[in-house]
Amino acid sequence: MKYICLGYMEENAWDTMSEGERNNFLDECLAYDDILRENGHIVGGEALQEARTATTLRFRNGRVSVTDGPFAETKEQLGGIMILEATDLDHAIRLISKHPSMSLGGGTWEI
């Protein structure tokens, strides 16, 4: 069964890390992603740019309006998506709970 997993992070936590800490963190995440991929669990996914680069489109008063910035001001921002192949929801939870991104700035995943 396929599950869409949304990974959230606090961008401030990322901003306070040194370049070395960021590189180590990314290496850990990519290594775990490789393990998931090798075992047939990653169907697809992408990391996203920082929320401040977002553009929001809304339909109002009969037309589309475009606004710079994310839809909502929140502490956690969507940092990436992953399409995960797992036997059931419990299996997906076990796989994602081991992802190194869980430890960064209150890392959160929504499955």
Separation in Å, CA 38 to CA 29, 32, 35: 14, 10, 5
Cα separation, 71 vs 32, whole angstroms: 30
Q: What is the mean pLDDT of residues 56-69?
A: 90
**What is the extent of the structural domain holding 80?**
2-110
Number of folded domains that form the chain: 1
Q: Residue 25, class by beta-carbon neighbours within 10 Å (0-12 exposed, 13-18 middle, 19+ buried)?
A: middle
- pLDDT higher than 80, residue 46: yes
Render pLDDT for 65-102 as a digit per residue (tens, 0 to 9). 998 876 666 677 888 999 999 999 999 999 999 999 88
At residue 111, does pLDDT exceed 80?
yes
- Do residues 78 and 51 make contact, with C-beta atoms less than 8 angstroms apart? yes
Q: What is the pLDDT of residues 6-32, one digit of tens each?
A: 998 887 787 888 999 989 988 999 999
Assessment of whether the complete model's pTM goes beyond 0.75: yes
Residues 28 and 1: their CA atoms lie apart, in Å, by 26
d(CA 69, CA 53): 6
CATH number at residue 99: 3.30.70.1060
